[in-house]
Amino acid sequence: VKQAMLRDWGSWDGDFRAMTAELRRRLLALTGDRKGEYDCVPLQGSGTYCVEAMLVSFVPKNGKALILANGAYGLRAAQTMQYLGRAHTLIDKGDAFVFGFSKLDVMFGRKSADAVRLPYRDLAKPGVRFLQQTITAIDPEARRVTTEAEAHEADILVIALGADYDIAATPGLAEGGNEFYSVAGAERLAGLLPRFARGRAVIGVCGAPFKCPPAPSEAALLLHDYLSARGVRADCQISF
């Protein structure tokens, strides 16, 4: 990555324009557009920037969005809709959520699990309608969502349900390993790390794609600081 960054790419360069054109062509091919009815416009910026651009473009001023959430990104979409003045409803099966980075605070004993838990009731915003319901079915063509309580319809569905972890898919991980991607896993590590003063720590990625790509490297760097502060870094090896 560092080697690639040594080259100064500019949007006015012919090779850069050719590379961008090829990227657009390949992305359009993934959509199955064989009649040339669509085009691809790359947007530079964060994921949030792209989501905001999508919401302001696709949801009409008099339209309604149904946001299916499982934490921070769903709430962020709801807050964007509130800012844009678009009608929307936020649905989450839980009454609270935890930011991903907060699990590292739990892992290294900086905060408790209760301290990083953010109830939706404390984050209520004017114009944000929150429903705590469990989603049982999604009909994307009809833009209809069914929960255990009722059915909902909207002009656009924003699906931000996240992903469940399949720990058993990696042999031996459940029996002999640890993870910090869940609050429960971070709490277990918070109990184990104070007793780790000598030996090897391996921070591994079981496969791609995986959630929050920076998290493993962040954990490795924070573990380095944690062990250094305890004065045992020289007796420990960190492999990533």
Rounded percentage of the chain residues whose pLDDT exceeds 90: 44
| Residue 116: pLDDT over 70 | yes
| Residue 62: pLDDT over 80 | yes
Predicted confidence at residue 125, as pLDDT, reads: 65
Rounded percentage of the chain residues whose pLDDT exceeds 70: 98
User: What is the arithmetic mean of pLDDT over 92-105?
Assistant: 91
Q: What is the pLDDT of residues 125-169, one digit of tens each?
A: 666 788 999 999 999 989 999 999 999 999 989 998 877 788 888
User: What is the arithmetic mean of pLDDT over 7-17?
Assistant: 79
Predicted confidence at residue 126, as pLDDT, reads: 67
| Residue 7: pLDDT over 70 | yes
Please provide the average confidence, as pLDDT, over all residues in the chain: 89
**HEC string of the chain?**
CHHHHCCCCCCCCHHHHHHHHHHHHHHHHHHCCCCCCCCCCCCCCCHHHHHHHHHHHHCCCCCEEEEEECCHHHHHHHHHHHHHCCEEEEEECCCEECCCCHHHHHHCCCCCHHHHCEEHHHHCCCCCEEEECCEEEEECCCCEEEECCCEEECCEEEEECCCCCCHHHCCCHHHHCCCCCCHHHHHHHHHHHHHCCCEEEECCCCCCCCCCCCHHHHHHHHHHHHHHHCCCHHHEEEEC
User: What is the arithmetic mean of pLDDT over 56-67?
Assistant: 89
Q: Range with the lowest mean pLDDT among 70-84, 149-163, 213-227?
A: 70-84
Instruction: Considering only residues 165 and 11, tell me which one the structure prediction assigns the higher pLDDT.
Output: 165
Where residue 34 falls among pLDDT bands split at 50, 70, 90?
confident
Instruction: Considering only residues 207 and 24, tell me which one the structure prediction assigns the higher pLDDT.
Output: 24
Q: What is the pLDDT of residues 168-212, one digit of tens each?
A: 888 998 888 999 999 999 999 999 999 999 999 999 988 877 888
Q: Range with the lowest mean pLDDT among 37-46, 184-193, 219-228?
A: 37-46
User: What is the arithmetic mean of pLDDT over 39-43?
Assistant: 84
Predicted confidence at residue 128, as pLDDT, reads: 72
User: What is the arithmetic mean of pLDDT over 11-20?
Assistant: 84
